[in-house]
Amino acid sequence: MADNGRQCLRANLFLSFLLASFLGRYLPGCLAQLACVGEEGDDDAGGNRTAVYIVHVRKPERMIHAGPEELAAWHRSFLPSLDSGEPRLVFSYSKSMSGFAARLTPEEVEAMAGKEGFLSALPDEKLYPQTTYTPDFLRLRPDVWRAANRGEGVIIGVIDSGINPEHVSFAGSKGVRRWPPRKWRGYCEFYRHRTCGRKLLGARNYDAGAKAEQPLPYDIEGHGTHVAATAAGGEIRGANVYGYANGTASGAAPGAHLAVYKAATVAEVLAAINQAIEDGVDVLCIPLASQEADLPIFLDVVAIGTLAAVRKGILVVAAAGNYGPLAGTLRNGAPWIMTVGASTTDRALRASLRLSNGVELPGEALHRNDSSQLLDELPLTYPTAKRGQLPAEACSHLRAAKVTGKVVLCHTGANMTTAEKAKIVMAAGGVAMVVMNSEKRGQTIAEVPDLDIPTIVLDYNTSLRLREYVAKSPRLKATVIPAGTTFGNRPAPTVASFSSRGPSAANGGILKPDILAPGVNILAASHAAQSGFSIASGTSVAAAHIAGIAAILNKTNPSWNPSMIRSAIMTTSRLGDMTGVGPITDEKGTAASLFATGAGHVDPWGAADPGLAYSVEFGDYVRYLCGLGYSDVQVSVTAGFPVQCAAVGKLDAEQLNYPSIAVKLNSSATAPKAVGRTLTSVRCSIGTYKASVELPAGVAAKVSPRRLLFLRKGQRRRFAVTFSIANSTLVEAGDVIEGRLRWSSDVNVVTSPLLVTIA
C-alpha cells in the first residue's frame, strides 16, 4: 500500500509538472507534495530544503549536436542564478537521457517548470542491490557454472557498489590475453594502483554518499565485487575448501573485460549508464532495483536510461528483484531490458540435525572446519513467547534462562537476518541455532551464513516436522552434523522464494521475468580480502550469470543485436527439472507459473545455436511506448528525443516482436485475437520449421503459416498466431492460461511461452 501511495504521488508530480509547464500555471497542492517527497534534502542557510531532482528537458534544434560541455552549460541555464553555496548541477546527461540531475528546492523546481524546454522533474531515489545475503567465508568452492567460451574482447559494464580491484579474480590482467578493443574509451580511477588491467578496464565512482569516506570506487558492501566476479571473474585453479571440492572457480565469461561503475541512486545510475555508453561497453548489468513495483515506464528513470543504452546497441541485463514470492512484485520489466529471476542449483551445503529420538533432518549449513563448530548432543529449546508473537519465535528477543547452553529454534522473518538473530542467541547464552524457514520461503534455503555458532537452516516442510517432534517430546536433544558440499540434489533448478514475480502492470502485459539463472548460494569473489570468497543469493547474482552468457553470445555471434541475444537465451531455455521429469517447481514445491520462470531456465549450450531469433528494432520500442497510451510528452521523455505518436504509429504490447507471447482474451466476446511475429534465421543452412502449440483445452491457437522455410542467414519470415476461446465452459474471466509455441526443424527447436489472460 505504501508503495502505491508513493507511486501515485510520483505520477501526480509528473502530471502536475507537465500541466504546469504546458499551461504555465501554478497548481495548488503541488508544493506540499514536493515538500514531502524531497525528504533527503539538506537545510541551507535560508532554511530551504534542497534535494536531487532528475529533470527531463527537450533539446532545441541547436543542441542536437552539442558536445557535453555545451550541453552542460545549457542545462545550467535551467538552474537558479542565486547560488545557495553548494553546486547545483549534479550530473549533466548527454547519452542516457535528455536532461540533468540537480540539487533544488521545491520552489525552484516549480519555477523551472515555466522555462522553455522543461518536460518533467522527478525526485531522486535510492536503488537497492538485489543481493540478499553476503556473509563472507574465506574459502573457495568450484562454481558449477562454467560456460563454453571465455567471452574474450567483450566488455561487461556492472553498475553496483564498486569493486575490490585487488582480488585475484580481477587483479592484473587475470586470464585476459588481449588488450581491449579500440572502442573502449573508459577510465580507471584506481590510478595510483596497478590494479586495473586487461581484466578490469575501468572503474568509476558516482556514489556521492560513499565518496565522502572513500573517493575511489572500492566496494565496501560486497555486492558489486560478487556480481562482477560472477559475470566475468577470471579462472582460479586449484580452488578448494578445507580439502573438500577442489577445482576451478570462474565467472560465466572469464575472458571478458569489466568496466565497473559505483552508483546508489537513480541519478547516479543514470550518470553511470551515460558513462557506460560513452565508454563503449557491450553488455550492461544492473543488479539494482527500485523499492517500488510497477512504476509506469515514463516515470522509471532507470528504464529511460537503459533505453538509451539499447539504442546504442548495448544489451541491458537487470535483476527482476528480490521481492517475491507474491505476484506483481517484479522490477525492471521494460521490454528492452533482459529481466532475470533467480533459481536454485543442484548444489547444497549439506548438514543434518540429528535428534535424540533417532530422526535425522536434512538442512544446510556452513561449517567451519574447527572444534568451535563441533557439537555434542544438547537440549533443544523453542522459545515461543506468548501465542501469536512472531518476534519471539524469530529470536529477536530471548531470555537467557530459557536458552543458555541449548540449541535454539528460530524462524526466518521478522525483518532480521540470520546473522542478527545469531548475535541475540549468542548473547543469551545459546550454543547453536536452528533456523526454520517460514512458509513464504518454503523449500528455498537462500541464507546460509558463516556464523560464530553452529547454525543449520531447514526448509519449511522439515521445519514443520521438527516442530511436531518438539511438541511431542519437549526434552528432545539435538546435534548438527556437517556433510559438506553435495551436488546432484533434487529438485533443481527451482525458483527461489525471493525471486520477484510478474505480472508487470507497467509494461502493457509483456511476460516478465524473461529468464531464470542461478542465484542461490553462489560463490564468488569477496570485497573483503585479496583471495577471499563469499557466498550470496539474489536476482543480482542471477543477472550477473546472464550478463556473462550474453557476453559469450556476443563474442560468438557479433552480428546479433541485443534483442537477438535475448531471444537466443529465451527460446532455448530449459523448461523442466534436471531429472527430465516434471516442470520447474517453486518454493512451494508445485509447478512454477510463467510469472515466476519466464521462458524457463537458461541453457547456454542451447543459446549458442538457437536457429531463429525474434529481433526487435529500436523504433518498435518507441511505437510500443505510443501503444501503451502515453502522451507525446511522456514518450519523448522516455525515448530521450521528440516523438509524435501520430507520426510514428502505435504498436500494441501484444504485437511487439518479443520471444514470449502474452495476450488478453475476452471471455464473452467470440472474436479471435491474432498476434504477429517475425523470425530471423541465424543459421547458414537451409531450414524448414514446423509450428506446434501446446495449450489446455479451453483456448485454441492457430499458427499461420504452419511451416516456415528459411534459405539463408538473415532471412525473415512473418507468421501469426490466432487465439480463440475453444470451449467457454472451460474458461472464465480472471483465468491465466499457460502454453508453449514451438518452431521445430531437424536441428533446432525455438520455443516461446504463451500466456493467455481471460478478461
Ligand X SMILES: *[C@@H]1O[C@H](CO)[C@@H](O)[C@H](O)[C@H]1NC(C)=O
Task: State the residues that interact with ligand X by CB under 6 A.
Answer: 44, 46, 48, 82, 84, 105, 107, 238, 240, 242-243, 246, 282, 313-315, 369, 415, 442-443, 461, 554, 558, 560-562, 565, 589, 666, 668-669, 727, 729-730, 759
Catalytic residue status for 92:
no
Q: Of the residues 540, 567, 573, 636, which is catalytic?
A: 540
CB 152 to ligand X: min, Å: 11
DSSP code per residue over 679-697: EEE--SS-EEEEEEEE--T
Q: What share of the chain is helix, strand, coil (3-state, %, to 5)?
A: 25, 25, 50
Residue 398 amino acid letter? L
CB 590 to ligand X: min, Å: 7
The Cα 750–Cα 559 span in angstroms is 19
Which residues partner with 283 through β-bridges? Answer: 156, 315
Residue 682 amino acid letter? V
From 88, 132, 128, 147, select the one nearest 112 (Cα to Cα): 88
The tally of CA atoms less than 13 A away on the side-chain side of residue 229 is 34
Residues 246 and 238: beta-carbon distance below 8 Å: yes
Alpha helices in 120-262 (DSSP H): 208-211, 223-232
Measured at CB, which residue is nearest to ligand X? 589
Which lies closer to ligand X via its Cβ, residue 11 or residue 591?
A: 591
What sign does the dihedral 266-268-270-273 (CA atoms) show? negative
CB 314 to ligand X: min, Å: 6
- SS3 call for 248: strand
DSSP label at 124?
-
Which lies closer to ligand X via its Cβ, residue 165 or residue 610?
A: 610
Catalytic residue status for 438:
no
Query: How many CB atoms neighbour CB 642 within 10 A?
Result: 13
Which lies closer to ligand X via its Cβ, residue 202 or residue 217?
A: 202
- SS3 call for 425: helix
Catalytic residue status for 601:
no
CB 387 to ligand X: min, Å: 21
CB 283 to ligand X: min, Å: 6
From 369, 644, 576, 637, select the one nearest 484 (Cα to Cα): 369
Q: Of the residues 223, 226, 257, 367, which is catalytic?
A: 223
Which lies closer to ligand X via its Cβ, residue 126 or residue 194?
A: 126
> For the purposes of burial, counting CB atoms within 10 Å of the CB of 291, is it exposed (0-12), middle (13-18) or buried (19 or more)?
middle
Residues 137 and 448: beta-carbon distance below 8 Å: no
Cell numbers standing for residue 445: 534455503
DSSP label at 576?
B
Which residues partner with 54 through β-bridges? Answer: 101, 122
> For the purposes of burial, counting CB atoms within 10 Å of the CB of 146, is it exposed (0-12), middle (13-18) or buried (19 or more)?
middle
The tally of CA atoms less than 13 A away on the side-chain side of residue 218 is 15
What sign does the dihedral 214-220-224-226 (CA atoms) show? positive
CB 743 to ligand X: min, Å: 23
CB 362 to ligand X: min, Å: 12
Which lies closer to ligand X via its Cβ, residue 387 or residue 729?
A: 729
CB 669 to ligand X: min, Å: 4
CB 489 to ligand X: min, Å: 13
Q: Of the residues 136, 160, 514, 577, which is catalytic?
A: 160
CB 554 to ligand X: min, Å: 4
In which element (H, E) is residue 270 found?
A: helix 266-279
What sign does the dihedral 595-597-600-603 (CA atoms) show? positive
Residues 722 and 673: beta-carbon distance below 8 Å: yes
Which lies closer to ligand X via its Cβ, residue 369 or residue 722?
A: 369
Cβ neighbours of residue 180 closer than 8 Å, sequence gap 6 or more:
153, 155, 198, 201, 257
- SS3 call for 627: helix
Catalytic positions are 160, 223, 540
